[in-house]
Amino acid sequence: MLDKAPEPPAERKRTRIPDLALDQGLPANVDAERTILGSVLLDQTAFNEAAEKLSEDDFSLDSHRRIFLRMSELVDANQAVDIVTLSAELDRYKERDTIGGIAYLASLTEGLPRRPVIGEYIRLVLDKSRLRKMMMIFSAGIARAADQSETALEILEAAEGQLLEIAQDAQAGALRTIYQSVEAAGGTEPYLKAYTDPEMKPGLPTGFLDYDAMTGGLQKSELTIIASRPSMGKTALAMNIAQNVAIGKKNIVAIFSLEMSRSSLERRMMASRAWVNVRKAQEGIYLNRDERIKLETALGDLVESNNIFIDDSATLTPIQLRAKARRLKQRQGRLDLIIVDYMQLMSAGVKTGNRQEEVAYISRSLKACAKELEVPVIALAQLHRGPEQRTDKRPILADLRESGQIEQDADVVAFIHRESYYNHDEDISESKKALAELIIGKQRNGPTGIVRLAFVSQLTRFDNLAKG
């Protein structure tokens, strides 16, 4: 009775890909694939170089994918990789004849030097693999568009997401030494300057002095979460930061507002900058001449800056956000800050098991967006009712709503707390009513603590506390 071929490990099970190189028009470099496989058979250390960038799916021929997969399993088992051991491993899975037998394995090493250099061959195989993946994405998109069972936006989102995965893989970082980092910066002096020169600000100042002193400002590629209970002032704080970053400077700010309309945000920013309560007009109270002049001046500042971009799409996915931010950066030549208000209103745009998984996906995507575009991202987030059920109402990390992934992905988590939000005692002093705390509950590269700010409720405006 024949021995039954062992089942591949669970993580290896996948739909078998056809011999793509044999399909006319699909890019492949079979010779480069053979050279890589043959090099590993001659010198097992070459496998590490290949496996760092390649997986079995990057090979165009089914036989080459099987060979590379069995090589991987031998290495994982700390066994030698040569023609004899590889032939035996393939035979265990009844694959030796499928790949062409031991004669084909032997042919892989023909004409190769004893220690071949395979870096260029890896690059060629990767390039052809990406081209094939792109062609498959475009082909699938054409088929789905012709079927007409989905909207154009759904098909576009799916294709853009798949293309983004390819781009991220292509831009993935490699291991490098501190020497290489210093060399890339242009030498010791320019490398150190970023840390020792006070004029070389490491982060983007928010305009809130104590917060900037504790965090160094908003850092490129970092995700900052600002969270609170409803009506605590998340949007107000974010709009204040946007104005502080943009007005009078060349910084470009992109605001994605899923909760408030563009006109509402513009009105808020204008009133906050002018120190005028525009609600008076909504309540039927005319503004005086001085207030109108202040509003006109504030509006002039916002118009003149012309560098705060607002998107008030009611529905937004991470893929759409990244595409819009990427295009804005290309169009403007730079992008200095992204603000999302607020993240739990976003839709993943992909199928997930439950809401917690969806929020986790959104959180990871926002962090990936910050890294890809090398820009700080501020995402506002809602807290559950935990603070309201405690004697001490100050939020903690466990209060983040719907996903612990948010805490994991965030580089900084800051909570807004105002005691006057909970304390409606008429005897509470005006100074206490105007006091707000920005609680830094997590900072990956710095201390945690409390930053005290002034809050002007009529203007929904935060400001630095007067010293003294």
Residues classed as catalytic: 259
Q: Is 290 helix (H, G, I), strand (E, B) or coil?
A: helix
d(CA 148, CA 83): 51
Q: Determine the distance from the C-alpha atom of residue 350 to the mean position of all C-alpha atoms in its chain, rounded to a whole number.
A: 16
Q: Which residue has the tokens 């917690």?
A: 356
d(CA 291, CA 337): 31
Q: Are strands 461-464 and 449-456 parallel, antiparallel or unpaired?
A: antiparallel
Q: Who's near 36: CB < 8 A, 6+ residues apart?
A: 46, 50, 54, 118, 121, 122, 125
Helices 30-42 and 119-147: angle between axes, nearest 10 degrees: 140
d(CA 383, CA 227): 6
Q: Are 337 and 375 in contact (CB under 8 A)?
A: yes
Of all helices (H) and strands (E), which one includes residue 330? helix 318-332
7: DSSP letter? P
- Kindly provide the b/e burial profile for residues 37-56, where b requires at least 16 CB atoms within 10 angstroms of the residue's own CB: bbbbbbbbebbebbbeebeb
